[in-house]
Structure 1
């Protein structure tokens, strides 16, 4: 059976915002407070270092994508260069990882809506958001791209506002409830909050803030002019990292001493409240609601394309609807994601933090496999014969350094008490899938 093809309907504007949206999420809006508490101003250097290796990973991904932009998802490159069994294990792992992330984000959406509507059952909001975003995903790929564009724009506006407010206040030395704002507030209380394990844990948190940045690699087969669009989107990521992460965190620690932040509350809420904006909690709640909806939207897109790719041209998931969208694959993923609504209805308390951490640990392996895939590609006949529009600078040494960095993060996860169990669960998941792949006779 000939495999149907996805259509190229995502524009430069859509792909740029999708790439940007993948780097900005609840990790920044909610998790930055704990990062600041653990590392102090040193968190800026940690984000720069982490951002360097993420950028290297994305350049490797970009080089693969432009070498053959017809592949629906980047996991197809892993299957081509690492073998069918590796492709099977990594493909289903990536699909499950996004399913679990979607479940967690859907649960978060219900909690965020509860902030404004405390008497309405949470499951109603979860169902409503899932149905709406599902409808958008099966209508047209342009509808998905347009939705993601506006979701990302809201997040960007919140961050730019934070940066502008911070630097204006410092320039004019404006007073707040905690004192006068100076640029020196950033470093006058010390540069490092903790040494040793606490500082290393901040690396782990910075890495998780970037999860989803590879999502642009799922859009390649549906992107107009991928040889131009994909490289431009990827190259701009490092600038966005510096502006949005470094800029926002710097502004936060300039307006208010980093020693005053609580790891239990969004630093954005704490800053806006400190400068007298009483509706700060509501504003940030809207922004994180947007971030969660954006992640759910991306999850539906990704899991549908992953099932379409894993179907290998056979079965119902290999079918495209009249809009050239894998509707049945998206529908199945949406049903699986929707199971969390039933569970949240039966068990109101959120029981998914453990599973979410397991999914996050698996992304380390996905990113590592991507760097190994790139190494294999560089040694292949396809590389020797092809035209190279976009290369990873410093390869293969950049690959090795990135792999060492990712392995270091994995060790931090494994030996941090709060994440040891989840990391072990991720290891068990890979072992089980590997055994299944080994006994499948259809694999060469």
Structure 2
């Protein structure tokens, strides 16, 4: 199949088709939805909870770790934004990989990401259930998972506007919480918060200094920070169902830099300035709750539980949405069961049910086989986001050359320093994967993810061979 043209075959009309054809997906996402999804999507449970392990390993140098991985993510999002603004599609990077490399690449990237999102639904559902059972002792955790799954499956079956509204308010709560945290933190660092004295640079330089565990600790923190950035890609999937996809993608991508700088790097700097990095509360209660407790905020732990619950539920909602749209996109391109391609009321309801169902099955596996099948699933998706980023970099390199030659007017968003920074981003992805291989705790994830990539690539190649030219 030739990949020399900029427009996909006619059967792809539901996923970034020419203007003359109409997508069966209903649309309904407004610019305010996309803006808030872009703003709130960067604030996840991985930041609130997972950053504690990174701080414990890297110490104050966790700021450098988040800054370095943040630069990589900015490059990836800029590349993805360039392609998505030029060719909006609900399959996002999967569509771009197919157009740039071939159908097998789109198949591999798409089904890998779908698997990652579905497993993510299980992880987030379990985490949310743990918070609820803490508030309501004696209630079974499976009941809460079922309640959340039924609720978000129902909302995603209804219409895309329901997804947009839930994410709008979830994002507003997360943004408000992080803004309040940063505001209090900056006042405390400056010594302007009543009842607290500024620690100055003591926590940054004492107890082993800025690099208490050396470069090894910094690398562990780097790996932890990369995981926290996953999920930003969903905004380019959602943009395809917005009133103005090109404007939505362009705006979201252009604000990525300051969002990462303020939310991630800024909050890490506040935390390690106000707290000793080796304070047991950083990992026991979580870095944000520990910091609020240090500032004398009443019921800090419960306050953060509410914020974390919102972040988990937001991620569940977004993952079901993203997985269903990715599955639908793959099916419309002949890369999945045709039965999943049916759209009712502008919603790919069968794809929603499949994505939710797989997520719920993974929840059951976490209870039945926590140390075998569920652990295997977790390891299998451990490095998926890096593989996806690799596909994004390769696709952007190919499609940018093609756009410059055939349709330069579509370059509404441009990757900085092309092609040099594209190569830097790709080298960064390979470098992080290499670090994962060297690290004893993450090595098995690379091997499992590699196996999944190889299996899907082989399946994708077989599907490609059977498709008519």
Q: Find the aligned partners of 1:7 and 1:280 in 2 and give their Cα distance.
A: 42
Q: Find the aligned partners of 2:119 and 2:260 in 1 and give their Cα distance.
A: 26
**Offset of residue 153 of structure 1:** 1.6
Moved more, 292-301 or 179-188: 179-188
* 1:309 counterpart = 2:333: no
From 400, 405, 420, the counterpart of 1:397:
420
Could you tell me whether the CA contact under 8 Å between 2:133 and 2:141 is conserved in 1? yes
Moved more, 388-397 or 339-348: 339-348
Pair 1:312–1:354, CA change in 2 (3 A) = same
From 16, 20, 23, the counterpart of 2:42:
23
Pair 1:430–1:307, CA change in 2 (3 A) = same
Task: Name the residue aligned to 2:292.
Answer: 272
Pair 1:352–1:151, CA change in 2 (3 A) = farther
Q: Find the aligned partners of 1:147 and 1:419 in 2 and give their Cα distance.
A: 34
Pair 1:169–1:313, CA change in 2 (3 A) = closer
TM-score scaled by structure 2?
A: 0.88
Q: Find the aligned partners of 1:205 and 1:338 in 2 and give their Cα distance.
A: 26
Pair 1:348–1:202, CA change in 2 (3 A) = closer
Could you tell me whether the CA contact under 8 Å between 1:371 and 1:403 is conserved in 2? yes
**Offset of residue 364 of structure 1:** 0.4
* 1:416 counterpart = 2:450: no
Pair 1:294–1:207, CA change in 2 (3 A) = same
Moved more, 180-189 or 49-58: 180-189
Pair 1:118–1:349, CA change in 2 (3 A) = farther
Task: Name the residue aligned to 1:369.
Answer: 391
Could you tell me whether the CA contact under 8 Å between 2:38 and 2:232 is conserved in 1? yes
Pair 1:294–1:71, CA change in 2 (3 A) = closer
Q: Find the aligned partners of 2:151 and 2:132 in 1 and give their Cα distance.
A: 15
Task: Name the residue aligned to 1:153.
Answer: 172
Task: Name the residue aligned to 2:352.
Answer: 330
**Offset of residue 398 of structure 1:** 0.7
From 195, 200, 203, the counterpart of 1:183:
200
From 349, 356, 361, the counterpart of 2:378:
356
Moved more, 338-347 or 280-289: 338-347
Task: Name the residue aligned to 1:9.
Answer: 28
Q: Find the aligned partners of 1:281 and 1:158 in 2 and give their Cα distance.
A: 13
* 1:48 counterpart = 2:67: yes
Q: Find the aligned partners of 1:346 and 1:203 in 2 and give their Cα distance.
A: 33
From 92, 99, 108, the counterpart of 1:80:
99
Task: Name the residue aligned to 1:442.
Answer: 466
TM-score scaled by structure 1?
A: 0.93
Task: Name the residue aligned to 1:98.
Answer: 117
Could you tell me whether the CA contact under 8 Å between 1:44 and 1:249 is conserved in 2? yes
**Offset of residue 277 of structure 1:** 3.4
Task: Name the residue aligned to 2:231.
Answer: 212
Could you tell me whether the CA contact under 8 Å between 2:379 and 2:444 is conserved in 1? no
Could you tell me whether the CA contact under 8 Å between 1:173 and 1:182 is conserved in 2? no
From 302, 318, 321, the counterpart of 1:282:
302
Could you tell me whether the CA contact under 8 Å between 1:85 and 1:438 is conserved in 2? yes
Moved more, 201-210 or 255-264: 255-264
> Tell me, what secondary structure is at the counterpart of 1:135?
helix
CA RMSD of aligned residues (A): 2.3
**Offset of residue 183 of structure 1:** 3.4
Q: Find the aligned partners of 1:169 and 1:367 in 2 and give their Cα distance.
A: 38
Deviations 1:164-194 (A, max 9, x none): 1122223336687xx8333324534222222
Task: Name the residue aligned to 2:83.
Answer: 64
**Offset of residue 348 of structure 1:** 7.8
Deviations 1:384-419 (A, max 9, x none): 324121110101111100111111110111121111
Q: Find the aligned partners of 1:360 and 1:351 in 2 and give their Cα distance.
A: 14
**Offset of residue 25 of structure 1:** 1.0
Deviations 1:312-345 (A, max 9, x none): 26622111111x1111110111111111343355
Q: Find the aligned partners of 1:19 and 1:235 in 2 and give their Cα distance.
A: 10
> Tell me, what secondary structure is at the counterpart of 2:53?
helix
Deviations 1:1-56 (A, max 9, x none): 77552233212211122122322112211122222222222222222222112111
Q: Find the aligned partners of 2:262 and 2:161 in 1 and give their Cα distance.
A: 28
